[in-house]
Structure 1
Amino acid sequence: MTQSKRETERKYEPPSPGTGGLPDLTGAGPVASVTAAGPEELDAVYYDTADLRLAGTSATLRRRTGGPDAGWHLKLPLTGDSREEVRAPLSDDVPRVLRELVVSRTRGAELRPVVRVRSARTVRHLRDADGRVLAELSLDEVRADSLPAGGGHAEWSELEVELADGVHAGLLDTVERRLRKKGIVRADSPSKLVRALRETGAPVERERPRPSAGEVVPGSPGAHVLAYLREQTGILVALDPAARRDLPDGVHRMRVTCRRLRSCLRSYRSVLDRRVTDPVRAELQWLAGELGAERDQEVLSERLAAGVAELPDHLVLGPVAARLRVWDVSRGAAGRTRTRQALASSRYLRLLEALDGLVRRPPLRAGAAGKPARTMARAVLKEYDRLAGRMDHALEQPAGPARDTALHQARKAAKKVRYAAEVARPALGKPVARLGRRAKAVQKLLGEHQDAVVTQDALRGLAVAAHGAGESAFTWGLLHGQERARARARQEELPSVWRAASDPALRAALEH
């Protein structure tokens, strides 16, 4: 059993000795009063791998006693000053659910105690005029002890301001302005763990990177491709906990990240050796496929439910809602099972290891050190030419299943252009960004067409099942006709959207 909350806080260097302890923040924006909340004695043991993989991704895992929230705390980075804190009840060993939530970061490596941090905390509550707690101001006297043999200990003080739930983050800026006037500045460590590791000299078993096929030259195609791969790999790792907990959009975003990584490795074969990257691409395709079963069902179910909800009551004949619900539960459960099994597999861990190895020891080719304007533009234009060929083929097909299939293939090609342009944008600027936007417009239109095609297939299946059970199939047929009309409308829009994307000026801007 876990609980999750969003934590937004900032850390500061403590007030100078002799200045009276905690600063008075009465009158700082909406703060009308400051009340004492009593001292706390906190004792936390932080866990990580031997090479500090959690700390390396700005995550922390601790077992803490003392204070009102004793237990296991996993903190995952969000944006700005915020983190998500996942809590589990106090136990001797790391709870299984928390082990699973960090597996994308640890990649299965053993978690062990790395540092113990004890804090004597003085607490004040910042309240508004109605007495509501806006934030907690605390002063910690900290002692940190490295737990592996050979480490030392350190002591320091720090000031912390943490917002209460639901309070706008702008209060932190208001409080910080008041603190600066009192000579109090931000701490240079984002967390107690980071400072404890630094100041105790905790020994770390770090892997020595093997020499790559060449040095990565700043500003080169290799540098741009590796920066993109590093960013997307980090996103994949960070999305893992959300996908495991079935949080909104977690699975979808993780699947899209797999596609971005695959596309980059495909488009920039002149930069990275495909003998190394092709097996990684194959595994990314596998993972995206496993995640896709759940996501596709989720999208389809939402579309069908919306279609039924929009119909007048007199056009909904038979147990339509009940049949749709049973259909969704049976198919959705299967998709969710595939996601869980994939993320729990050793195959997934091997993929994460391969991605980590790829960015740490890139198999660079000669093109990695070339001129970005030439190497990267060539890669983008190659994908663009594939898209043009598939669009020409699709538009030549008569209306029907053959054209639907060809348009779906063109959609995939449009994604590859878009993602190749994303990689190249830091190097090539506005021309490639413009091409990427046009390719995205094509992809979006073709995606709407494909959704309508897939939904027609599902509606036909529901109609057949309803008829076989002696129910009216009228409503399913009506919805089928609506989806068919939507698909036809998207096809009618396609020539103008493609004309904009195939503007010769876009290609000329990249060629020169």
Structure 2
Amino acid sequence: MGKRVRETERKYDGGGEAATVRADFAGLTAGSRALDAVRLEAVYYDTAGLALAAHKVTLRRRTGGDDAGWHLKLPAAQADTRTEVQAPLTPAADGPPQELLDDVAALVRGRALQPVVRLTTSRRRVLLLDADGATLAEVAYDRVKSQVLPEGPASEWTEVEVELGEAAAGDPALLDAAEERLLAAGLQRSASASKLAHALGGMLVAPPAGPPAVPGSAGGTATGYLHDQLAAILALDPAVRRDEEDAVHQMRVATRRARSALKSFRKELDREVTDPLGAELKWLAAVLGAERDREVLAERLAALLDELAGEPGADAAAVTDAVRDRVQALAARTSTESRETLLRALGSARYFALLDALEALIAAPPYRRGARKPGAEAARATVGRDMARLRRRIEEALALEPGEEKDVALHEARKSAKRARYSGEAVRPVLGAPAKAHTSRMKKLQQLLGEHQDSVLSREALTGAAAGARAAGEDPAPYDALIRAEQQRAADVEAALPEAWERADQEL
């Protein structure tokens, strides 16, 4: 896996003088040291439509200097900061390393990458040092020549970069102080986020953010929330591919939020467009869910075993290594298969088409007449519809006796609670604190109902394990004890639900 570092830097444009101007940094730090000049050659890769650059992502192969190699730079939430992924230098003919391609797969979407810009940079550097000689910041004076490939426009410019060193620990105060000196020397903050953006100039088109909606309108609320979920999916995609902790869960949540919004905002968005998209989001959530459900089941079963083993009596003594192995295998046996299925889905044309469709919807929303309504009025109506649906589901479930039918009804109520929660999130920009309080109530109710559903799924898995133990001539007692524990958990939820619902069922 490529080395990942965070870089915090600012760029300054001084016209033709930036390469020769020397800002006065005396007294800013304990000392400074000038380095030998270097010549850097970089070729930037992107799709024909510049999908990476449009999302402020750069992928380059650079030679020269002390960090030659492949560099992928990704936006970060912190101002003036990006994440850089570094990979060793390999022949250009081999193309970018796969480890970097995985990080941009959701943006590239199967399209070919090609060289789009060549940059030649003559660089002089000055290190700003602390009292121990550690680098606080690096000031780079660059003269840049660019060529858009294969036969596009060429340009030249000069700029100054100030990048924090590790010793500065990301403290922006030093950047502010250095900026004062640079501005005093006649430079100004660069209008381009990167050298690539400068080279491309007017060729660069931002990703779709949608046409301007009526200020404060219902349509703007709907598409704004959908835009946030698409951004989350794109940001989480690389982490899911790297199998980072909680990434699958978070991406699944973003997918479900988007699908829920398409349902909740049916008065604002044309269902002929959104229903097929919702079906594809359901597919993606199911693929992500297989991996996530395995993780949840494994954690739950491990906790149950530990509880049973800690209790006095025959059941505790029955928790042998063989029992642990059989129970843990319930989740582990599907791990490899679900992971492979997930990675295939994330590399499929179907997934890429779904991302394209989401972007197209945001760029040209299929607004209905209701989209022009005032946002606050429509928001209350949207949440009200979702609450009415949840109320029916809860009342139906509470009227049933414990058993399989009640389990199914409570699962449906849980899905409705989740939808009511997500619609509360979506309308928070227009309703503020009341929507926040509503979302909190729905989250608590959803978690309670989720505990019940987890017990149902756990019991189903344990029932299969008990049957396997009996068929193998093993003692089924520990599995039966685990099932009883899950039955009690479900009963506790059912007993607590009426009071929990009374607290949750409030007007927005």
Q: TM-score, normalised by structure 1?
A: 0.87
Aligned counterpart for 1:233 among listed residues 230, 233, 248 = 230
Matches within 5 A, 1:79-98: 79-80=77-78, 81-89=80-88, 90-92=90-92, 93-98=95-100
Of 222-231 and 314-323, the range deviating more from structure 2: 314-323
Aligned equivalents of 1:174, 1:215: Cα separation in 2: 36
Matches within 5 A, 1:89-488: 89=88, 90-92=90-92, 93-125=95-127, 133=135, 135-164=137-166, 168-169=169-170, 171=171, 173-184=172-183, 186-198=189-201, 201=202, 203=203, 216-310=213-307, 311-312=309-310, 314=317, 316-488=319-491
Structure 1 counterpart of 2:3: 4
Displacement of 1:129 after TM fit?
5.3
Tell me the alpha carbon deviations over residues 41-69 of structure 1, each in whole angstroms, 9 at most, x when there is no partner.
Answer: 32111122233221221211111112333
- Give identity over the alignment, percent: 40
Aligned length: 491
Q: 3-state SS of the aligned residue for 2:367?
A: coil
The alpha-carbon distance between structure 1 residues 38 and 461, as it changes in their structure 2 partners (threshold 3 A), is farther
Runs of at least 5 residues in structure 2 that lack an aligned partner in the other structure: 311-315
Aligned equivalents of 2:396, 2:252: Cα separation in 1: 28
Tell me the alpha carbon deviations over residues 439-479 of structure 1, each in whole angstroms, 9 at most, x when there is no partner.
Answer: 12111111122222222222232333344444444444443
Tell me the alpha carbon deviations over residues 215-250 of structure 1, each in whole angstroms, 9 at most, x when there is no partner.
Answer: 732221111211111221122122111112211222
Structure 1 counterpart of 2:313: none
Aligned equivalents of 1:302, 1:332: Cα separation in 2: 13
Aligned equivalents of 1:113, 1:334: Cα separation in 2: 37
Aligned equivalents of 2:473, 2:208: Cα separation in 1: 68
Q: Which amino acid aligns with 2:8?
A: E
Answer yes or no: is the 8 Å Cα contact 1:47–1:111 preserved in 2: yes
Q: 3-state SS of the aligned residue for 2:25?
A: coil
The alpha-carbon distance between structure 1 residues 37 and 467, as it changes in their structure 2 partners (threshold 3 A), is farther
Displacement of 1:275 after TM fit?
0.6
Q: Which amino acid aligns with 1:42?
A: L
Q: Which amino acid aligns with 2:105?
A: V
Of 272-281 and 322-331, the range deviating more from structure 2: 322-331
Tell me the alpha carbon deviations over residues 124-181 of structure 1, each in whole angstroms, 9 at most, x when there is no partner.
Answer: 55555555555544333333222243423121121221343x9632x2x231243144
Of 121-130 and 267-276, the range deviating more from structure 2: 121-130
Structure 2 counterpart of 1:510: none
Q: CA RMSD in A?
A: 2.9
Q: 3-state SS of the aligned residue for 2:245?
A: coil
Tell me the alpha carbon deviations over residues 309-357 of structure 1, each in whole angstroms, 9 at most, x when there is no partner.
Answer: 4533856323344334544432111110111111111111111111111
Q: 3-state SS of the aligned residue for 1:84?
A: strand
Displacement of 1:395 after TM fit?
0.8
Aligned equivalents of 1:273, 1:439: Cα separation in 2: 27
The alpha-carbon distance between structure 1 residues 244 and 342, as it changes in their structure 2 partners (threshold 3 A), is same
Of 15-24 and 155-164, the range deviating more from structure 2: 15-24
Answer yes or no: is the 8 Å Cα contact 1:139–1:160 preserved in 2: no
The alpha-carbon distance between structure 1 residues 123 and 477, as it changes in their structure 2 partners (threshold 3 A), is farther
Answer yes or no: is the 8 Å Cα contact 2:280–2:354 preserved in 1: yes
Tell me the alpha carbon deviations over residues 235-272 of structure 1, each in whole angstroms, 9 at most, x when there is no partner.
Answer: 21221111122112221111111111111111111111
The alpha-carbon distance between structure 1 residues 159 and 167, as it changes in their structure 2 partners (threshold 3 A), is closer
Aligned equivalents of 1:491, 1:409: Cα separation in 2: 14
Aligned equivalents of 1:493, 1:136: Cα separation in 2: 60
Q: 3-state SS of the aligned residue for 1:319?
A: helix
